[in-house]
Structure 1
Amino acid sequence: MNRLFTAFSPQSFALPAGILTIIVLMVVPIPAFMLDVFFVFNIALSVAVLMASMNAAKPLDFSSFPSVLLFATLLRLALNVASTRVVLVHGHEGGAAAGHVIEAFGEFLIGGNFAVGLFVFMILMIINLVVITKGAGRVSEVSARFTLDALPGKQMAIDADLAAGLMTAEDAKARRREISTEADFYGSMDGASKFVKGDAVAALLILGVNVIAGFCLGMISHGLTASEAASRYISLSVGDALVAQVPSLLLSIAAAVIVTRVNDTRNLSGQIGGQFASPDIWLPVALILGAIGFIPAMPQRVFLPAAAIAFFIWRKLYKREQLAKAIAAMPAVVPPADPGKITLGEVSDHTLVTVELGYGLVQLVDEKRGAPLVSRITGVRKQLSQTFGFIVPQFRVRDSLDMGPSDYRIILGGVVLGGSQVMVDKVLAIDAGEANPQAHIRGIETRDPSFGCPGYWIDPPLRDMAIAEGYLTVDASTVIATHLNQMMAERAHALLGADEVKTLLEATKVRAAALVETVYPTPLSLAAMTRLLRNLLEDGISIAHPLPILQSIAQAVQITQEHDRIIDMVRADLGGLIVSSICPPNERLPVVTLDSSLEAMISQGLIDPVTGQPLIEPDLARTIGERVASLVAQRGPSASAVAMIVQPRLRRALAHLLRLRAPGCVVMSIAELPETQPVEVICVVGEQPQQPPQLTHQPNAAYPSSPVESMAA
């Protein structure tokens, strides 16, 4: 029943009933009283359309205007037909025979002089047809052309924002619908402007028909003299034309208003009023009008009051502007805090990295004391950004009452990475291996939280003596900043997010737009690019030089879209970059390999059913990790890093293993080792004791091929 009522609601019958009424007006004779009613309705409709066009914030807010213009034009033409019939049939009876509205326009507006009415009608016709309608039609034509030309670019912008994750699918649909409606609107307005032009021409022809036919009918059919026929029929015809021309002029103005609108949050009155509300506009107006008014030949009683009104407007606007500036300069009144209200900032931390301090360390961030910790952390963030190749998100420093007064801790994404104790009024003397073992330093024994070196918290006057004994001395803010740097340097991938990747790609696009467009936003979305670059950072590959990395990614995505295969192909292409980060140029790369039988056992062993990667048994993993860790420890901290070269299938599993047990060893597949890179195999893990632990190399230029071929076998 509800559906039946909705289907037959009065709103659904309003438009068909209106069209049927227009047809009836054209065909069926109506009395003069009904003609007056429809004339008043036509004028009211024209005023309503004009007000709707002026109150629209943007043209699409009145998207039905072309259809409304069509129906209003049809209504006016139907009234012209109906009034022509009444004038020609009953015009000889007098002015009231054609209705009081036509009589009023014929008597009041033109004073009963039909010659004056003809001239007034022609002037209104020229204004409507030549000025308003022609200008609105030209604006509609240009707007439609520009809108259609910009349509592909707007569609591509929507697709790019959707691929970048800047909008949802529903938002994209709404924007596409809005763009389509805008194109249809301006195209319809380009054609609807012809309605107004045709209506003006039709009004001119109807006036001519009424004048000639009425003059002839009055003299032939009703026996009127020439002067009487002209006085009655021509006056009624001119009044009828003016009744129709006034609504036509209003609709022409409405069409011009709607096509010349610029998108704004205000309606047309507010937009114009806001732009004319500057006091700088009205003072020159007042001065110029006053200067003209003092010319002796000018009518001073007109110009001087106009100048006074303009000066009054300037003074009022100037006072209002000064008051607004004074209010803006006043300090904002902070309402008293509601003790029962809890804000989101009190329960949620939107910063990725946070350094929490005990209340005894708050003076390290006190601006009155120079805020040494803030400047240190800023330097750490800048250094990390240069090392990683992207802008590291800002760090947050805050106090915490649930910690000891001298404690601090470093938090990444809500996870506590580490922390320690520092003494603000003392200096940390660190024994980095160069201190005099016979030295006697008076202080509180401790360990450096960053690298675990032994040290002492000493008084500042003993700093010079500690330096002379070979100790490295740092203050409390430097200790915290160094610990923060050491923690973040191992977690570059955790600091890289979608916002940082988007900023990096946009900066690279300035110099290499075509290269960026080959990988982003298609075929790789922002989420896929973020995951890819995070994996590269986790493998120790810096993105400080994005061009070779993007070139490698562009080549890989032409072959496959699988994430793991792209990583392997990019690493193989960036093998020289990986080697250069761990081995100085023109030197042999220290290499650790696995025995062929051990490699075969891992490769043919357990397989992860989810990733398809080999699984290393716990005992074997512990043995390999301890062996490589001891080898790295034997080489010492000053020695260059060691690379383990394995088969491509085993690289990911062994890299995950040694990242935890032997961070000083870089795991590479044999496909990532450059052909021209000299190597020195220092250990073969899993080899029998009687076998030699390293491969010999020939001193000629061909020596790199020997170990590579051996490891490949």
Structure 2
Amino acid sequence: MKARDLTVLMGVILIILILVIPLPGGVLSVLILTNISISLLVILVAMNTTHVLQFSVFPTLLLLVTLFRLGLNVSTTRAILSEGDAGGVVETFGSFVIGDNPLVGFVVFIILVIINFIVITKGAERVSEVGARFSLDSMPGKQMSVDADLNAGLITEQEAKERRKTIEKEADFHGSMDGASKFVKGDAIASIITVLINIIVGIIIGMVQMGLSIGESVELFTRLTVGDGLVSQIPALLMSTATAIVVTRSSDGSNLSADVVTQMTQYPKLLYVAAGTIFLLGLTPINFFLTTTIAGVLAFTAYMLQREPDIPTDLDEDELDEAESSELRAPENVVSLINLDPIEFEFGYALIPLADANQGGDLLERIIMIRRQLAIELGMVIPVVRIRDNIQLNPNEYRLKIKGNEVAGGELMLDHYLAMAPDMEDDGIEGIDTEEPAFGLPAKWINEEFKDEAELSGYTVVDPPSVVSTHITEVIKRHAHTLLGREETKQLIDHLKESHPILVEEVTPEPLAVGDVQKVLAKLLRENVSIRNLPVIFETLADFSKMTNDTDLLAEYVRQSLSAQITKQYMKQDKTLPVITVSGKVEKLIAENIQQTEHGNFLSLDPDKQQEIITTIHQEAEKVSLQEETAIVLCSPAVRMYLKQLLDRFLPHVIVLSYNELEPDVQVQSLGVVNIA
């Protein structure tokens, strides 16, 4: 244990001891001076903090210091009443304040207690209560602001996490201060009661047990009580003031001293007004020399503040231009320009209301929901979407970029609705012909007056924000594999390691590096297979990575381990799976043309045969689509990977599954067969 930790622990133990063990006057003097020093240090720290969380320990420290002070009160009261002596510090304070008149000293002490209790402590308690209430009430709004900045790309995920943590800490701090201020109030009340006990009981003890006269007893115990009260009230006053400073601070990043000086002197002309007023007071019986001196100081301060700062003139205009040009050519300014945002959404000026919350736009909130939805569906954290307007685009145009490359775009008409007909040849509704951007379906932009009519006619009617949200969702899904890099994979691995440390250690960094794991996960995402079930994926990698480090084969093994997930993804509610099966002849042809190299296996098939297979699958897929079914090709595990690679360039939307990726209870329904001559 560190020495500073032991110091705090020993301090708490000391507080407990002074409550029960009588202490000699010398020890009490040391502890009293220590108490004053701690209180002075606390108020100085409170004045120099620029944010409440820089002094987050203050509520707990306030409790400990208050307990320490109460313990000293008990010890000094015991010493005063039992021995008539509480140490040199108490005696000195009492004698200095009282002087020759005990009554005056007692009145001064009472005024000090009243100021502390009624003014400072009462005010600090109220401010703490209001601060805690407002902090808790504003917490949801602050959290939403962080989410909005995150989706706008103004901050990173790490910065958002830190800001959320800061908001929670601030709420906890103000709640703690609300409770801690009650201890300060109780301490002030206890001090008053202690004073009354010391005087009343002390006078009685002095007369009965010590044999003093009433005058001597009053003089002795009044002096000791006032001295004890002062050495207690001065630290209490400092702590109460520190409490008030902490809970009333509203800083812009500077300490209290800087704020006071800066803000009090920001209007120099007002200092002239104050100086003139003080000078006029000197024309009354008030001391003329004194008022003139103070007025002169205020006027001189105003004059110094109004002086313009000296501007260096040794640089001519050409040299200044050269300096600015050099700054623009600095490497930092160039390097910052090469950074690419993972996802960018740009739109023309007519679509600004879509993202402007002041105009009713909710695109930021929709993107937050999209990222959450895709995190559940895909099992990866989608990067923040940078949203910006672009005057180079047409007013109603938008486009989506992935890592700087435009991957999708479209046009929106904010004052229209998009209507998609159940029958592509249905022209019963008047509108502007267009194409639904996410799935390429024929559609129309219709006016709001035709909305109800279109819905009654069986059209699917969607508002523009929903259109663009759906488009963004589908585009991110299709490109999720490009968004998963090594850094993102490392984050997923670290997250899994918290719950499955042994499993992660068995896979990475040996036998698979982070890059190998990333390739496997990217291959799954490329075919729309969620990687959310990381434990099962890593179990499979742990089993098969010892036999091969071919990421293509490992991805196939993982797909088979995720058979329940894949089956559920494509199976219909009646547990049937309509598919296009691959004939044994085609599978044999593919298997015979697999070339094995040191860099992996690939399909080396005659171009004519490739084209024949692709054409046949395309024809069968069109037949299936006419039946409103998804085109799924089913083949053996040995050729699935190579058949998918063959179709990727020409028929990327065709799904290819193997028999090992299906659960036993699913009923396969063949809608066609892929065969060649």
For 1:291, give the aligned amino acid: L
Quote the residue 1:399 is aligned against.
none
Q: Is 1:28 the equivalent of 2:21?
A: yes
2:142 corresponds, among 149, 154, 162, to 154
Counterparts of 1:309 and 1:177, CA distance in 2: 48
Quote the residue 2:598 is aligned against.
none
Structure 1 position 127, deviation (Å):
0.8
Structure 1 position 154, deviation (Å):
1.4
Quote the residue 2:399 is aligned against.
534
Quote the residue 2:166 is aligned against.
178
After superposition, what is the alpha-carbon deviation per residue over 1:536-582, rounded to whole angstroms, capped at 9, x for unaligned? 99899753634547x679xxxxxxxxxxx9735565334789xxxxx
1:312 corresponds, among 272, 296, 300, to 300
Secondary structure of the corresponding residue to residue 213 of structure 1:
helix
Q: Is 1:68 the equivalent of 2:68?
A: no
Quote the residue 1:50 is aligned against.
43
Structure 1 position 108, deviation (Å):
1.0
Are the equivalent residues in 1 in contact too, given 2:436–2:442 (CA < 8 A)?
no
Counterparts of 1:208 and 1:504, CA distance in 2: 75
1:231 corresponds, among 201, 219, 230, to 219
- Cα distance change, pair 514–529 in 1 and its aligned pair in 2 (3 A): closer
Quote the residue 1:292 is aligned against.
281
Quote the residue 1:437 is aligned against.
none
For 2:187, give the aligned amino acid: D
Counterparts of 2:193 and 2:313, CA distance in 1: 62
Q: Is 1:543 the equivalent of 2:411?
A: yes
Counterparts of 1:87 and 1:167, CA distance in 2: 62
For 1:543, give the aligned amino acid: E
Are the equivalent residues in 2 in contact too, given 1:144–1:190 (CA < 8 A)?
yes
Counterparts of 1:330 and 1:303, CA distance in 2: 48
For 1:573, give the aligned amino acid: A
TM-score of the two chains, using structure 1 as the length reference: 0.52
Counterparts of 1:329 and 1:253, CA distance in 2: 51
TM-score of the two chains, using structure 2 as the length reference: 0.55
Equivalent runs, 1:272-287 vs 2, <5 Å? 272-278=260-266, 279-287=268-276
Are the equivalent residues in 2 in contact too, given 1:57–1:268 (CA < 8 A)?
yes
Quote the residue 2:501 is aligned against.
none
Q: Is 1:136 the equivalent of 2:146?
A: no
Counterparts of 1:281 and 1:249, CA distance in 2: 33
Structure 1 position 535, deviation (Å):
6.9
- Cα distance change, pair 177–516 in 1 and its aligned pair in 2 (3 A): closer
Counterparts of 1:240 and 1:287, CA distance in 2: 45
Are the equivalent residues in 2 in contact too, given 1:35–1:99 (CA < 8 A)?
yes
After superposition, what is the alpha-carbon deviation per residue over 1:193-237, rounded to whole angstroms, capped at 9, x for unaligned? 111111111111111111111111111111111111111122111
Structure 1 position 36, deviation (Å):
0.6
Quote the residue 1:250 is aligned against.
238
Counterparts of 1:535 and 1:44, CA distance in 2: 63
Counterparts of 2:42 and 2:290, CA distance in 1: 35
Are the equivalent residues in 2 in contact too, given 1:552–1:574 (CA < 8 A)?
yes
Are the equivalent residues in 2 in contact too, given 1:113–1:235 (CA < 8 A)?
no
Q: Is 1:264 the equivalent of 2:252?
A: yes
Structure 1 position 33, deviation (Å):
0.6
- Cα distance change, pair 541–130 in 1 and its aligned pair in 2 (3 A): closer
Counterparts of 2:203 and 2:29, CA distance in 1: 23
- Cα distance change, pair 207–347 in 1 and its aligned pair in 2 (3 A): closer
For 2:194, give the aligned amino acid: I
After superposition, what is the alpha-carbon deviation per residue over 1:352-405, rounded to whole angstroms, capped at 9, x for unaligned? 9xxxxxxxxxxxxxxxxxxxxxxxxxxxxxxxxxxxxxxxxxxxxxxxxxxxxx
- Cα distance change, pair 292–510 in 1 and its aligned pair in 2 (3 A): same
- The farther-off stretch of 568-577 and 238-247 is 568-577
For 2:58, give the aligned amino acid: F
Counterparts of 2:24 and 2:297, CA distance in 1: 51
Structure 1 position 90, deviation (Å):
1.6
For 1:227, give the aligned amino acid: G
For 1:173, give the aligned amino acid: K
For 2:281, give the aligned amino acid: I
Quote the residue 1:509 is aligned against.
356
Secondary structure of the corresponding residue to residue 44 of structure 1:
helix
Counterparts of 1:186 and 1:327, CA distance in 2: 51
Structure 1 position 649, deviation (Å):
7.1
Equivalent runs, 1:107-118 vs 2, <5 Å? 107-118=95-106
Q: Is 1:9 the equivalent of 2:2?
A: yes
Counterparts of 2:122 and 2:213, CA distance in 1: 41
Secondary structure of the corresponding residue to residue 252 of structure 2:
coil
Counterparts of 1:166 and 1:502, CA distance in 2: 20
Quote the residue 1:344 is aligned against.
331
Are the equivalent residues in 2 in contact too, given 1:103–1:236 (CA < 8 A)?
yes
Structure 1 position 327, deviation (Å):
8.2
For 2:437, give the aligned amino acid: I
Secondary structure of the corresponding residue to residue 306 of structure 2:
helix
- Cα distance change, pair 104–327 in 1 and its aligned pair in 2 (3 A): farther
Structure 1 position 189, deviation (Å):
0.9
Quote the residue 1:442 is aligned against.
none
The answer for unaligned runs of 5 or more in structure 1 is: 1-7, 92-96, 353-412, 414-495, 554-564, 578-608, 622-645, 651-713
- The farther-off stretch of 155-164 and 232-241 is 155-164
Equivalent runs, 1:198-237 vs 2, <5 Å? 198-237=186-225
- Cα distance change, pair 79–527 in 1 and its aligned pair in 2 (3 A): closer
1:37 corresponds, among 4, 12, 30, to 30
Quote the residue 2:90 is aligned against.
102
Secondary structure of the corresponding residue to residue 66 of structure 2:
helix
Counterparts of 2:9 and 2:350, CA distance in 1: 56
Quote the residue 1:189 is aligned against.
177
Are the equivalent residues in 1 in contact too, given 2:120–2:244 (CA < 8 A)?
yes
After superposition, what is the alpha-carbon deviation per residue over 1:3-53, rounded to whole angstroms, capped at 9, x for unaligned? xxxxx2222222221111011111111111111101110110110000000
For 1:282, give the aligned amino acid: L
- Cα distance change, pair 570–226 in 1 and its aligned pair in 2 (3 A): farther
Counterparts of 1:98 and 1:186, CA distance in 2: 38
Counterparts of 2:316 and 2:263, CA distance in 1: 26
Secondary structure of the corresponding residue to residue 534 of structure 1:
strand
1:567 corresponds, among 413, 419, 437, to 437
After superposition, what is the alpha-carbon deviation per residue over 1:237-285, rounded to whole angstroms, capped at 9, x for unaligned? 1111111111111111111111110132211001111112332231111
- Cα distance change, pair 23–73 in 1 and its aligned pair in 2 (3 A): same
Counterparts of 1:265 and 1:518, CA distance in 2: 31
For 2:275, give the aligned amino acid: A
- Cα distance change, pair 338–539 in 1 and its aligned pair in 2 (3 A): closer
Equivalent runs, 1:479-628 vs 2, <5 Å? 497-498=344-345, 500=347, 504-505=351-352, 509=356, 513=360, 516=363, 519-523=366-370, 527=385, 533-534=398-399, 543=411, 545-548=413-416, 567-569=437-439, 571-574=441-444
Aligned pair count? Answer: 423
Quote the residue 2:309 is aligned against.
323
For 2:52, give the aligned amino acid: P
Larger Rg: 1
After superposition, what is the alpha-carbon deviation per residue over 1:576-616, rounded to whole angstroms, capped at 9, x for unaligned? 89xxxxxxxxxxxxxxxxxxxxxxxxxxxxxxx9789xxxx
Equivalent runs, 1:390-429 vs 2, <5 Å? none
The answer for unaligned runs of 5 or more in structure 2 is: 372-381, 389-396, 421-434, 448-523, 529-606, 612-621, 627-677
Are the equivalent residues in 2 in contact too, given 1:133–1:252 (CA < 8 A)?
yes
Q: Is 1:19 the equivalent of 2:12?
A: yes
Are the equivalent residues in 1 in contact too, given 2:272–2:302 (CA < 8 A)?
yes
Are the equivalent residues in 1 in contact too, given 2:42–2:239 (CA < 8 A)?
yes
Are the equivalent residues in 2 in contact too, given 1:164–1:521 (CA < 8 A)?
no
Secondary structure of the corresponding residue to residue 498 of structure 1:
strand
Counterparts of 2:201 and 2:63, CA distance in 1: 29
Are the equivalent residues in 1 in contact too, given 2:47–2:255 (CA < 8 A)?
yes
